[in-house]
Structure 1
Amino acid sequence: MCLIAASGSAALLIGAFFFQWLGYAPCKLCLWQRWPHGAAIAFGAAALIFGWRWLPFAGAMAAAATGALGIYHTGVEKGWWQGPTTCTSGGDLGGSAEDLLNQIMDAPLIRCDEVAWAFAGLSMATWNAILSFALALIWIAAARRTNGF
């Protein structure tokens, strides 16, 4: 079951990178939601390799963390609360000061409070939250099975 849960996080990350490749630049909150998926993948790999009994719990926490970030991002999109004031995409900081200024001026502002893409009336952040909480349940089932509950 750990493999299923970790594969779910991998699929969501691949989906995020695919949308980025299609031209949907991620905002700051979108990027924050990716990190726990990476951790869940690592926990899944470690669980398969080492079999440590606590790893499914860590995977569940990582999946729940990205789900919580997805809920937060959804609230920002819907105007329920304010998001980070620095909600923009980043870039390469190399080069001269003039190059950096030109890069800043040419970079599009990716706002966290605007929905870039939606399906069935739900934004990518909302879908990430729903699917991540489902993955957290799979992690919990794996933990229960691994720990004899």
Structure 2
Amino acid sequence: MPASLLHPLDKKSAGLAFILGLATIWGAWISQLVFGLFPCELCLEQRMAYYYGLPLLLVVLMTWNRLPLTVWYIAMAIVTAIFAWSVYMGSYHAGVEWGFWPGPTACTGVGEAMDFGALSSMTPVIGCDVVQFRFLGLSLAGYNALISLAIVGLLGLSIWAQARQPKRD
């Protein structure tokens, strides 16, 4: 691929990864706040990738041509690793929901939506093995694994395209 075609590909794929991640975390918040799908312990853990990875990716996008190339590669590697961890967490959680392996004892086998702190917090406790919503056979944890995989792919494409560019340092 000619270098002239690769140049916009590196930033565009990273930008698309950011937009996809932002839409995903917004979707998680909307599913909770609007549709009442309360997150379990593993759901909350999966959100951490978005809370840490997206701000770092935003900084990289905002300082795209001003970052030294070594810093850019390190930051992109960290963001990619964070979302690779999210792929693992989403896959692990989906496996718990399907009963392929046990989940954490703190949140597995709790029941549909028991309320242990009704008098103090009014927050339902959702078991990690309880699926509140499926679409086309996949739970939200399964979709998170697929979306995170797409984000990792887009970030990998960005890194690959940048590596094919003439050096800027």
Deviations 1:68-107 (A, max 9, x none): 100000111011111112228xxxxxxxxxxx78226x54
Paired residues of 1:87 and 1:112 also in contact (CA < 8 A): yes
d(CA) in 2 for partners of 1:75, 1:44: 29
Partner of 2:120: 103
| Match of residue 81 from structure 1 | 101
Q: Which residue of 2 aligns with 1:97?
A: none
1:72 to 87, 92, 105: 92
Q: Which residue does the alignment assign to 1:94?
A: none
Where does residue 140 of structure 2 map in the other structure? 124
Q: Which runs of 4+ in 1 moved over 4 A?
A: none
Cα 1:42–1:23 change in 2 (3 A) is same
Aligned: 1:142 with 2:154: no
2:48 is matched with 35
| One-letter amino acid of the structure 2 residue matched with residue 119 of structure 1 | F
Give the stretch that moved more between structures: 11-20 or 42-51.
42-51
Aligned equivalent of 2:26: 14
Shift of the alpha carbon at 1:55? Answer: 2.0
Q: Which residue of the partner structure matches residue 47 of structure 1?
A: 60
TM-score scaled by length of structure 1: 0.83
C-alpha distance in 2 between matches for 1:17 and 1:27? 13
Pairing partner for 2:76 from 48, 56, 64: 56
Unmatched 5+ stretches in structure 2: 1-12, 65-71, 109-116
Amino acid across the alignment from 1:28: E
Q: Which amino acid aligns with 1:141?
A: L
Note the C-alpha offset of 1:61.
1.1
| RMSD, aligned CA | 1.9
Distance (whole Å) between structure 2 residues aligned to residue 148 and residue 46 of structure 1: 22
- Kindly tell me the number of residue pairs found equivalent between the two proteins: 137
Displacement after TM superposition at 1:18 (Å): 0.5
Distance 2:99 2:88 in 1: 17
Mapped pair 1:113 → 2:113: no
**Structure 1 alignment gaps of length 5 or more:** 89-99
Aligned partners of 1:9 and 1:37 also within 8 Å:
yes
